[in-house]
Structure 1
């Protein structure tokens, strides 16, 4: 069973879906701040666990899953988006969905519509926990039944989470649920629905968030450190604080902490904090470098940031929306007519543009990563999505290999320097590799010096 290869090779994403078919599989947070599965007994793993694991070779791929679950109205097919009905960009006009959301408020709005129309009883999404980071995970999947509960979990969270506990609730509850998550979690839930009809009935709607990659809990801890907050004082991190009169992609990172029994907060522009450049992949799960789904191709609807022309200049944020379920698509079209939403249909090319870097890394870079050390097991991917490595050129190949190295070393360096109380040195350990990456990408100090010499 390839789930053993997934766990032993470090490719587990910690989704926890395997625990729904094998009670001996549990989730834990390892020393690197990643949630991962482990076998709590000496018994053999149930073969079904391998079939529901999103990175196992025994599980169905995204194309097979989409063909089984998505509406027949998904008549459009795109290499990067998958099957879909329509693609939109815009935001919510009514109430405080947009103000309290990470982008245009569309995720919370859609989930709330499913609730008020009695299409579901509850929503399963990520919310704050009650403890601080040094006592465990800061965020967890939880259940919401009202708009107010939904809004409390509306912000973006770059943090490890697991479905392990909430799936136990789904199985024992008489309620029906909508679940929203990153693409690999959505894929795992679909695989569980294929394995057990109960989850297909209990979870009639699934939403996805466009995903670059998931982060270790150490990422939040390190952001707090740069903001001058100790890990044992850190209460929570707002990874995406909107900045008035700025661009939507120019947000701040805010740390809330306790000092002397009093709650304080401090924030700085995210781009001024070291390690926040997404392409370097600081504190990234290894599994994320072996995933080819950016938009959540198996979900009923998918949401991303509309960081494209005509939208990115509004600090309040806008969403890209991809619909794959006729019920949800019809709800959106009616709300546009009723002026509850300000959405415009956009071309699929704009969806690609909004995530172009992520698509290149997931597709071009994936082909290169799969070619590295071929004797080591790696998750099997959809062959037709993998580009010809020779066509990418030697420079691009070096860039993707360097990114993989930076990502893997970012966690190792952090733990080493934290143990020796020299975290201030963390930035300088990475400088040579980052400058080399900039050079290969056509920028950085080296290229500026070479231009001066010429």
Structure 2
């Protein structure tokens, strides 16, 4: 029997959710976002929701269910050699923030923060919707709406943990002028898909900035990273940075010891991301073709086409995807907020050499899911077969099918997964009990049994 995904609750139960939070913004009376330890941010649907048209609207906007490009592929200004596999590309630059404090604190040159700062100081933007660490639980994230430099600077650095910035889109919709949105590729796609449904949001969406993303690790990944750093009691954390304060920067945890003293522990980028966090990415990230912000006005990431010395200041790869993004970038550079160097567009694939193979693997994985009747997203005008055919060896081609079959069993993708909210311990006792509860029992897809709704993230 082919499993079906009919509503937002099914999206989460089928492990197709990206955690963006757009459904919560669209239908706030029905849905709230919670953290599920081994999966990420997930929608919790009210037991007896006030059913209305917004529920259907949430499904139309959900990037976990479908992604559809609407740009004109025949636009002569786009780089035709990149369009099929990298989305719309008008220009490629390298750059970094003109503000040295932002450049140092940012993960790779602070370009996204610098562009956002220009918008609110000189670009007539009324605010910036983005993600920051929670004050009470530094290893979790919150959605924030910033209106001045100090707020932006406090939130610099990548957050390799679940985030739902789209749950705050009401800040943009209700603003008295245009605003900037910053998020993962799926967050930007959700925002753009929602803007097509809601003219008031579209009118105030002044700029979208997407950052390159290799996948979102679950909170369980962060807790394992902290444990490897010697932080056995996460509730004692004072602050946690995953990157930044140098390029690429170190994962840095500051915490209080039992006697009240403060200690700092660090891991290199390779140790934290490469050794721990990437192993905990949510399933939906394994079947995502967009890791470079194809739906954004401007996308930023690391220029990994060369080695990075330990003492080198950060630099960002900046991909201009729309004319609005190009005009904004030029204005920010003219005002001194960002320093730019024009690059050949081929620097994009050179900087992210693994992502073409990733896109090819996604085609094999999605086909396997469909053949076996397992829920899979619908992708329109995001071609992947070409990458599967040209970028993968025959062994890798086979693995894209066989590996997916194994994951279907290992991750329980044929069954309905109960998403149990994780309640972090702010102070005092440990949280191992919550961790054990997070691996909730698996229910048959379509079961009438309700998902247990205990706790609150």
TM-score (norm 1): 0.78
Q: Secondary structure at the match of 2:281?
A: coil
Distance in 2, Cα, partners of 1:47 & 1:384: 27
C-alpha distance after superposition, 1:160-212 (max 9, x if no partner): 01136522333444353211000111010111111111111222211100111
Q: Secondary structure at the match of 1:282?
A: helix
Distance in 1, Cα, partners of 2:291 & 2:57: 26
Distance in 1, Cα, partners of 2:353 & 2:109: 20
Please give the residue correspondences for 1:434-449 in structure 2 after superposition, counting only pairs within 5 Å: none
Judge which range, 147-156 or 27-36, deviates more.
Answer: 27-36
CA distance 1:256–1:333, shift in 2 (3 Å): same
Distance in 2, Cα, partners of 1:86 & 1:294: 18
C-alpha distance after superposition, 1:397-448 (max 9, x if no partner): 4554559968996999xxxxx969xx9xxxxxxxxxxxxxxxxxxxxxxxxx
Judge which range, 85-94 or 339-348, deviates more.
Answer: 339-348
Q: Secondary structure at the match of 2:32?
A: strand
Aligned residue among 106, 112, 118 for 1:101: 106
CA distance 1:321–1:311, shift in 2 (3 Å): farther
Aligned residue among 360, 363, 381 for 1:364: 360
Provide the residue aligned with 2:32 in structure 1. 26
- Note the C-alpha offset of 1:242: 4.7
Aligned length: 401
- Note the C-alpha offset of 1:284: 0.6
Distance in 1, Cα, partners of 2:332 & 2:375: 48
Matched, 1:343 2:340: yes
CA contact (8 A) 1:306 1:320 kept: yes
CA contact (8 A) 1:80 1:352 kept: no
Provide the residue aligned with 2:425 in structure 1. none
CA distance 1:375–1:305, shift in 2 (3 Å): same
Please give the residue correspondences for 1:240-319 in structure 2 after superposition, counting only pairs within 5 Å: 240-242=243-245, 248-249=247-248, 251-259=249-257, 260-272=259-271, 276-277=274-275, 281-309=278-306, 315-319=312-316
Q: Secondary structure at the match of 2:182?
A: strand
Provide the residue aligned with 1:209 in structure 2. 211
Aligned residue among 65, 75, 78 for 1:75: 78
CA contact (8 A) 2:166 2:190 kept: no
Judge which range, 222-231 or 45-54, deviates more.
Answer: 45-54
Provide the residue aligned with 1:92 in structure 2. 97
- Specify every segment of 5 or more residues in structure 2 that has no aligned partner in the other structure, as ranges: 418-430, 437-457
Provide the residue aligned with 1:49 in structure 2. 58
Matched, 1:237 2:236: no
Provide the residue aligned with 2:446 in structure 1. none
C-alpha distance after superposition, 1:192-244 (max 9, x if no partner): 1111111112222111001111111111111110010022323332111456x
CA contact (8 A) 1:301 1:322 kept: yes
CA distance 1:89–1:118, shift in 2 (3 Å): closer
C-alpha distance after superposition, 1:289-342 (max 9, x if no partner): 121112111111110011223866763221000113445424544665677644
- Specify every segment of 5 or more residues in structure 1 that has no aligned partner in the other structure, as ranges: 413-417, 424-454
Provide the residue aligned with 1:188 in structure 2. 190
Distance in 1, Cα, partners of 2:57 & 2:335: 46
Provide the residue aligned with 1:449 in structure 2. none
**Cα RMSD between the aligned structures?**
3.5
Aligned residue among 42, 45, 65 for 1:39: 45
CA contact (8 A) 1:208 1:302 kept: yes
